A and B are shown apart, each in its own frame.
Chain A
Amino acid sequence: MSNSRFAAWMTWALVFGMFWTVVSRVSPDQSQAQTGSVPKEGFTAPDFTLSLLDGGEITLSELRGKVVLVNFWTSWCPPCRKEMPAIESVYRSYKEIGLVVIGLNLTAQDSKQDAASFAQEVGLTFPIALDLDNSVGTLYRVTALPTSFFIDRKGVIRSVIVGGPMNEAVIQSKVEELLQEDQ
């Protein structure tokens, strides 16, 4: 194939491409919004109800309208321990304007006592949820610790950070972006 023939093919490709672009447009009734609850950016966060370390229960879907950070952790995981003060600090700064943090302890791989003593040692004030049978960890396909899910006011996962430790600026930037959005 010569260059001029290649150019001719490309011209045809351009015409076909324009046609293809028009016919493959996303129509208003066929939005790109994702359906289903999957632990992935762009999808609705899978719902869960867990008991809290301090008593009571927490249900994720009841937090619609708020920005939620779900942080999976265990007390024996060094990066989890290291990032907790940063999470606590961001929580204190933003809780009044709609941030909820759920420290989701994978208790099946930890112990309630160790989780409680670590929370006390660091002075955590946000709710600590206990995943006693690893069901939420499995639901969220948590393969590494820590893992953090940033969920917007509509309950959609907007960012997933696997591994750590996250510094305060990382958490703040993710949270601020979501808090600035309208409900």
Chain B
Amino acid sequence: MFPYLRLGPFLLQMPLLALVVGVWMGLTFVEREAVRLKLNKEKISSLVFYGLVGGIVSARLAYAAQYASVYLPNPFSLFSLNTNTLLPEAGLVFGILIAGIYAYRQKLPLRKVLDALTPGLAFFMIMTGVSHLLSGNAYGTPTRVPWAVYLWSDYRQPTQLYEIFFALVVFMIVLSRMIPTNAPGLRFVQFLSLSAIARVFIEAFRGDSAILFDGYRTAQVVGLGILVVCLALLRNWEGKDEHESKIG
């Protein structure tokens, strides 16, 4: 765990830095893949940019909307570097929506675009694990297994390391195109389904899971839902070009 680094008057938040590196390096992978897939590199970069900026702004606005009585009299308080006043779920949904609207308006081929984004997203997942490792977030349940790590006053499952390991495996699979595809969009579906499986598996060892109902962990239920959608997409998209399939 290494959450902060002081450089003179500046306080570097290392977990945030890991995410920034994830975006930066991820974008490099995206641009490379876009060129390989004969997509307009600049348009794909813009799509990522709009998605990111839109996501961050939406996350802040959604947080402020929760506390409208606080923010309405002080609208300038919206402009703050504080990452604690963001609603990440809203940022994710609106970020995807804004990127989707941009892709639609630019008439970008959705499935090919998703394939272009895949290596970048896979790399970002690795850096998300690194970010958790640096912050000590997403920690595991107390355990006595020999490979346990001492964190937050107990020996715990090293879930952050599991996260990095599985993300690395998924990244290697999608980057090396280990599993052949016969239609656009399937590389992305492979990435999504492998990541969902990893999440369902690792979540069982988490000590800070959000609980949905009756003891079920939210991330596992969402992961299973994503897996079902991926299976439907695999069957629908397999062997078909973009204009032939019913979805996308």
Contact = CB atoms under 8 A, between A and B. Distances in A.
Interface of A: 1-4, 6-7, 10-11, 13-14, 17-18, 20-21, 24-28, 32, 34-38, 40, 42-43, 143-144, 159, 161-163, 166-170, 172-174, 176-177
When A and B form their complex, which 5 residue pairs have the shortest distance between CB atoms, in order from nearest? A169-B77, A24-B204, A25-B215, A173-B67, A36-B153
A18 to B, nearest CB: 6
B70 A7 contact: no
Contact of B227 (A4, A10, A167): A10
B244 interface: no
A60 B235 CA distance: 59
Contacts of A159: 84
Given A10-B227, A21-B217, A32-B208, A144 B63 contact: no
Nearest to A26: B215
A112 B85 CA distance: 33
A170 B3 CA distance: 21
Given A7-B235, A10-B234, A143-B4, A20 B200 contact: yes
B80 A162 contact: no
- Interface of chain A: mostly helix, strand, loop or mixed: mixed
A144 B6 CA distance: 8
Given A161-B82, A168-B74, 10 more contacts: A3-B179, A3-B238, A17-B220, A20-B204, A21-B200, A25-B215, A28-B215, A40-B136, A170-B82, A172-B70
B224 A14 contact: yes
Contacts of B235: 7
Contacts of B230: 10
A21 B199 CA distance: 11
A3 B186 contact: yes
B197 interface: yes
Contacts of B45: none
A24 B216 CA distance: 8
Contact of B11 (A24, A36, A163): A163
Interface string B186-213: 1000100100010011011001110100
Contacts of A34: 152, 207-208
Nearest to A163: B11
Contacts of A14: 224, 227-228, 231
B221 interface: yes
A86 to B, nearest CB: 10
Contacts of A35: 154
B74 A167 contact: yes
Contact of A143 (B3, B85, B207): B3
B173 to A, nearest CB: 10
Contacts of A18: 224
Nearest to A7: B234
Contact of A176 (B67, B180, B200, B224): B67
A169 B71 contact: yes
B153 A38 contact: yes
B67 A3 contact: no
B13 interface: yes
B245 interface: no
B67 A38 contact: no
A167 B217 contact: no
